[in-house]
Amino acid sequence: MIRIPFGTIAVTDRSKEIISEILDTKRLSTGKYVREFEKRFAALIGAEEAVAVSTGTDADALALAVLYDFGAVRGDEIIVPALSFVATGNAVLQAGFTPVFVDIDRKTLNIDVAKIEEAITKKTKAIMPVHLMGKPADMDSINRIAQQYGLYVIEDAAEAHGASYKGKNVGTLGDMAAYSLYVAHIITTIEGGIVVTNRTDFAEILRSLRSHGRACKCESCVLNTSSSYCPKRFSLGDKSDIRFIFERIGFSSKMNEIEAAVGIGALDVFNDVLKKRRENLYYLMDKFSRFEPYLTTIKKEPYEDIGPHALPIIIEEDSPFTRNQLVDFMEKNGIDTRSLFQSMPTQCPGFAFLKAKASGFPNAEYIGNNGLHVGVHQDLGLKECDYILDTIQIFLKKNT
């Protein structure tokens, strides 16, 4: 029996060399390698700035917290899709805002743009679309609505490494974009996250936010990289030390040098890994129509490239079996699976205090009950992809 794990991680030889150097120098906290990683990530996405943080959830939260410098107040509202990994909703709350959930389009798994305007109030400050499973959200419609109502757009691009939409890279389609760098993703720093933006003022605030809200916000801190003299340290007066002036409520969310070293190695092999994962995903998607009407997956539009994070699978209404039955069969045959998340407001107990209306998000709730996903990572080939397809086919023959 073939064993197909959901994900994989490769720590390259260059990463190992850098890690060895870091350990020898004992300079482990945020320093020159974090900055190198940030510059290269920004260049890859096509953004002017990138600010690395400790998790993808922090990337969402800090991007939102930037808005306080531009008039937002605690309790203001952020529009998010009801279906996402719970980190999306958690980040809104951790940033001090109120999540306002909007149902999804079942065909795309992304926020239903037709339902966004009815969710906007005087307290709405931003829309945070999620490119779920790496499939780009309908950004033209989202940006049109945001412009009409004077809202910011912050992309949750956690799973969308390498995705593009109408000739533009995901991550460059809003005011900011937040990526996860967790081990399951194409670019990983083990844990970690990163925010990209074309606005220098946003990047400066992000650098402050990730370090407790300090007044220090240089692109590269000489004290962190070389212990050199900092001419700005006492620039605000004889009795002030810029390192201990806290301009805003901040976070403790810095990336360390060892994580950045792993990320640099991931960037070195990014194109090869992206190509392999995309081949796997598109091969599986192309063959998946044979399972209709019982099982479906997302479709690729001509104007997009999907970030190949995983293959989503949805059990349709007329299927004579449950998700758990399919999952159990796949797991027994060596195929690792994950549920396709939940409706945060109605299926995640942690959000019960928001008192969302039961069954108020029917599409998100349906996917929460009937969706799963499987890996398409670079350690898999056509043999493993065919094994996934054949295993599903055997299950259907036994259960339909």
**CATH number of the domain to which 376 belongs:** 3.90.1150.10
pLDDT at 357: 86
Residue ending a domain, among 251, 268, 285, is 268
Q: Which of 185-194, 208-217, 328-337 has the lowest mean pLDDT?
A: 208-217
In the predicted structure, residue 380 carries a pLDDT above the cut 60:
yes
Whether residue 3 lies inside any domain: the answer is no
Checking if the pLDDT of 374 tops 60, the result is: yes
Q: Would 191 be classed as within a structural domain?
A: yes
User: Is 40 among the domain residues?
Assistant: yes
Residues 185 and 320 in one domain: no
Residues 176 and 62 in one domain: yes
The structure tokens listed for 7 are 């994900």
193 and 137 in a single domain? The answer is yes
**Distance (Å) of CA 53 to CA 189, 195, 368:** 10, 8, 29
Q: Count structural domains, the chain.
A: 2
Let me know whether 222 and 284 are in one domain: no
The answer to the question of residue 65 being in a domain is yes
Are 188 and 57 in the same domain? Answer: yes
> Which residues constitute the domain of residue 359?
274-399
CA distances from 48 to 38, 160, 353 (A): 10, 19, 39
- Output the pLDDT for position 232: 67
Q: Assess whether pLDDT exceeds 60 at residue 147.
A: yes
Average pLDDT over residues 318-342: 98
Q: How confident is the model at residue 222 (pLDDT cuts 50, 70, 90)?
A: very low
* Over residues 30-45, mean pLDDT: 96
The band of 316, judged by pLDDT with boundaries at 50, 70 and 90, is: very high
By the 10 Å C-beta count (0-12 exposed, 13-18 middle, 19+ buried), 316 is classed as: middle
Count the neighbouring beta carbons within 10 Å of the beta carbon of residue 340: 22
Question: Of the candidates 214, 246, 268, which is a domain's last residue?
Answer: 268
Q: Which pLDDT score is estimated for 365?
A: 98
Asked if the peptide bond before residue 293 counts as cis, ω within 30 degrees of 0, the response is: yes
Look at residue 2 and tell me if it is in a domain.
no
278 and 182, same domain (yes or no)? no
Please report whether residue 299 resides in a domain: yes
Report pTM. Answer: 0.94
d(CA 57, CA 38): 17
Interval 56-72 mean pLDDT: 98
Task: For residues 67 and 213, state if they share a domain.
Answer: yes
Residue 359's pLDDT is 86
Which residue, of 244, 268, 292, is where some domain finishes? 268
Asked whether the predicted pLDDT for residue 189 surpasses 90, the reply is yes
- HSE-CB of 29 using CA atoms within 13 angstroms: 13
* Same domain? 26 vs 148: yes
Residues 264 and 282 both lie in one domain: no
| Same domain assignment for residues 195 and 284 | no
Q: For residue 178, is it left (φ>0), alpha (ψ between -120 and 50) or beta? A: beta
